[in-house]
Amino acid sequence: MENILNFTRHDLEIWLESKGIRPFRAGQIFKWLYIRQVDTFEQMTDLSKDFRKTLEDSFYLQRLFIEDKQISADTTEKFLHKLSDGQHIESVLIPEKDHFTLCVSSQVGCAQNCQFCLTAKGGFVRNLNVCEIIAQIRDARYYLIQKKIDPLKLSNIVFMGMGEPLANYKTLIKALEIITDSDYGLKFSSRRVTVSTCGLVPKITQLGLDTGVNLAVSLNATTDKMRSRLMPINKKYPLNELLEACRTFTIKPRNKITFEYILMKGVNDTKEDALRLVKLLDPIKAKVNLIPFNGYDKSGFKRPTKKEISDFLQILLDRNITAMTRKSKGDDILAACGQLKAKLY
């Protein structure tokens, strides 16, 4: 028996046809799952009892178990989810001025071994299934309903949680199909969905062909020597290959690729680094998110001073690079960029 959240609407249409059931029923089922947020097939009251029994005999429907929840001083909320096999992941609900953003995990752990990232310290366990990705989002909206907040206020999704999304590509694409299903699914606009990668070059190109979502690239260095030290993926896909994939990435006319640059004191925060960054990004429709390093115990890296951060940013701005310093939310509960590790504290 399979979790019905693993099925895209198209998958469900094919399954229904195999049972001799008209495929338009898939839209009805999706509406119950993602708009009305039911927990059982019995609650799908515009379907016949026999049909509901067929669904019940063929699928199950399950929410993620929240083993722990933490609330930051800035009201960011981090959820520790226990999966059916006992593994754990985390998701983060981030309050913005007039909406919420959910930071979603795509794997249990991560295999990329980026030296500054806490998630990498635990190694890689497994890929998430479609249902485990989708449930993070579906359940976050249900959580807002319980708090008497309009669930559609959750309007932005970022795949920046645990794991490398492009290393779980087939699952990611199916999840994105449900997330951006504008008729019956989760109804997120593709322009409000961002997939972040450490630089899996072939999949970057494929993502642009397969979807209309935003791309964010975790860059973090301006030379191959430093980037290979910080991010081992660079040994396989060095900067010239990564940036070429970005130059040819399929994006909508007004969109830009986001380059995330974690500033680490004495590592990648010099004037020379800033000038090299300008040169690297010059031919690309780019915007830069500068992220002052978010510390954790035994990290080995430090955050630059406010002046050093400001000086680095100003060099980019003076040379017409769209850039900003991103305020990390939830760092007091290890919910900020690079801090997720999915353990009880």
Comparing 108 with 253, the larger pLDDT belongs to 108
**HEC profile for the chain?**
CEEHHHCCHHHHHHHHHHCCCCCCHHHHHHHHHHHCCCCCHHHCCCCCHHHHHHHHHHEECCCCEEEEEEECCCCCEEEEEECCCCCEEEEEEEECCCCEEEECCCEEECCCCCCCCHHHHCCEEEECCHHHHHHHHHHHHHHHHHCCCCHHHEEEEEECCCCCHHHHHHHHHHHHHHHCCCCCCCCCCHHHEEEEECCCHHHHHHHHHHCCCEEEEECCCCCHHHHHHHCCHHHHCCHHHHHHHHHCCCCCCCCCEEEEEEECCCCCCCHHHHHHHHHHHCCCCEEEEEEECCCCCCCCCCCCCHHHHHHHHHHHHHCCCEEEECCCCCHHHCCCCCCCCCCCC
Could you give the C-alpha distances from 121 to 48, 84, 151, 256, in angstroms and in order?
50, 23, 34, 31
Q: Are 110 and 120 in contact (CB under 8 A)?
A: yes
244 catalytically annotated: no
Query: What pLDDT, on a 0 to 100 scale, did the predictor assign at position 336?
Result: 52
* Percent of the chain topping pLDDT 90: 85
CA–CA dist 78, 342 (Å, integer): 10
Residue 296 has pLDDT above 90, yes or no: no
pLDDT digits (tens, 9 = 90+) for 142-156: 999 999 999 999 999
Contact 267, 225 (CB under 8 A): no
Query: At residue 219, does pLDDT exceed 80?
Result: yes
What pLDDT is stored for residue 345 in this prediction?
A: 33
Is residue 251 predicted with pLDDT exceeding 60? Answer: yes
| Residue 56 half-sphere exposure toward CB, CA atoms < 13 A | 13
The one catalytic residue among 103, 117, 131, 337:
337
13 carries an active-site annotation: no
For the chain, domains (ranges, CATH) are 2-60 (1.10.150.530), 65-333 (3.20.20.70)
Which carries the bigger pLDDT value, residue 191 or residue 327? Answer: 191
- Does residue 40 surpass a pLDDT of 60? yes
> Residue 335: which residues within 8 A CB-CB, separation 6 or more?
70, 72, 76, 77, 78, 90, 92, 329
Query: What pLDDT is recorded for position 95?
Result: 94
Instruction: Please give the pLDDT value at position 118.
Output: 84
Q: What is the pLDDT of residue 343?
A: 56
pLDDT at 310 (0 to 100)? 97
Phi, psi dihedral angles at 2 (to 5 degrees): -120, 150
What's the pTM value of the predicted model, to 2 decimals? 0.93
Choosing from 13, 90, 132, 164, the catalytic residue is 90
